[in-house]
Amino acid sequence: MSCYKIPKVAAFATLALSLALGGANTVAETSADKVDYTAMSAEQLADYLIFDARGFKLDVATQEGGTVRQRLEQDELQRTCSALQGARAEGDTATQVMAMARKAITYPEGEIKLGDWKKGEELARSGFGFRVGHNTDDHSEREPGGNCYACHQLDPDEIAYGTLGPSLKGYGKARGTAEAMLKYTYEMIYNPHAWFPCTKMPRFGANGFLTHQQIADIMAYVMHPESPVNK
């Protein structure tokens, strides 16, 4: 499914660039009549509009030391899952995505341990981090959070919780903290595609969004018996 014929798009790109530089007009005014959009597949055109017709401010620096261009470039997992247009991965695709995800998981040194649930709570509540553009998150002011409440219920006393993911209320109480459970939960936060191929849940570890320590703290919030999640 992921046959996007990149070289062809690249050829269009150079053509467009040399033509676009000719006039002082804005890109928006000139791009369509220089390159034949109708000769491209929808996938090629989307890539062309994003990367070559200056659809985004691509050169802007990101918090991880890269550029917006790099943020927008898809890795193999993102490309494979996008092509499903929201459907669940099945069969070979599912196997392939799960294997890809598993390969990308790194574990903390020693055993997987729970960190500080109070820190974890702050992180689970925070939606801060990695936003760039008209307002850019300054990571030197505040550390990035885990966005867990965007999609999950956790502390039963919190009413502003999202529902894209299942409720995690009482998660630790129900599941315990045996080694296999710690490993599963760690992997879910690090790279959930290892268990749910093409899930909507982000790869917080594999994408460098959260550190090993932050993951340990969030795991404590979700699993520790003292945490309000399990009261």
Partner 1 sequence: MSSKAWFTFPLALSLVGTAGAGSYQAPEDVLQGVIEKVESDYLTQSEQNLMMMADNPANWVAEEGKALFLEKRGPENVSLEGCDFGKGPGVVDGAYAEMPRYFEDAGKVMDLETRLVHCMTTLQGFSADDPAVKERHGSSSDMMRLQSYIASKSSGYKWNPPLDHPLEKAMRDAGNVMFYRRAGSLDFSCDTCHGETGKRIRASVLPNMKVPEEWTKAVSWPAYRVGHQEVRSSQHRVRGCYWQMRQGQIVAGSDASIALISFWTDAARGQPAILPDMKR
200 forms part of the interface with partner 1 (CB under 8 A): yes
Choose among 199, 60, 222, 185: nearest CA to 131: 60
Choosing among partner 1, ligand HEC, none, which partner's interface includes residue 182 (Cβ < 5 to 8 Å by kind)? none
Site for partner 1 in 79-108 (CB under 8 A): 81-83, 85-86
CA distances from 230 to 29, 61, 173, 218 (A): 57, 40, 5, 13
Residue 43 binding partner 1, by CB under 8 A: yes
Distances (CA, A) of 166 to 85, 152, 173: 21, 6, 16
CA distance 102 to 187: 8
Chain positions contacting ligand HEC, by CB under 6 A: 124, 146-148, 150-152, 164-166, 168, 185, 188-189, 196, 199-202, 204, 218, 222
DSSP letter (8 states) at residue 80: H
Q: Does 72 bind partner 1 (CB under 8 A)?
A: yes
Q: How far is the CB of 19 from partner 1 (least distance, A)?
A: 14
The item of ligand HEC, partner 1, none sharing an interface with residue 152, based on CB under 5 to 8 Å by kind, is: ligand HEC
Q: Output the smallest distance, CB 9 to partner 1, in A.
A: 12
The answer to whether 101 touches 194, Cβ cutoff 8 Å, is yes
Only segment of 108-116, 147-155, 170-178, 217-225 that touches partner 1 (CB under 8 A) = 147-155
Stretch that binds partner 1, among 55-63, 88-96, 106-114, 213-221 (CB under 8 A): 55-63
Taking CB under 8 A as the criterion, the residue among 10, 55, 105, 143 binding partner 1 is 55
| Whether the Cβ atoms of residue 100 and residue 191 lie closer than 8 Å to each other | no
Report the b/e string of 119-152 with b at 16+ CB within 10 A: bbbebbbbebbbeeeeeeeeeeeeebbbbbbbbb
First-to-final CA distance of the chain: 46
Q: Where in 148-177 is the site for partner 1 (CB under 8 A)?
A: 149-151, 159-164
Q: Which spans of this chain sit near partner 1 (rule: CB under 8 A)?
A: 26-29, 31-33, 37-38, 40, 42-43, 45-46, 49-50, 53-58, 60, 62, 64, 68, 71-74, 77-78, 81-83, 85-86, 130-135, 147, 149-151, 159-164, 200, 202-203, 207-209
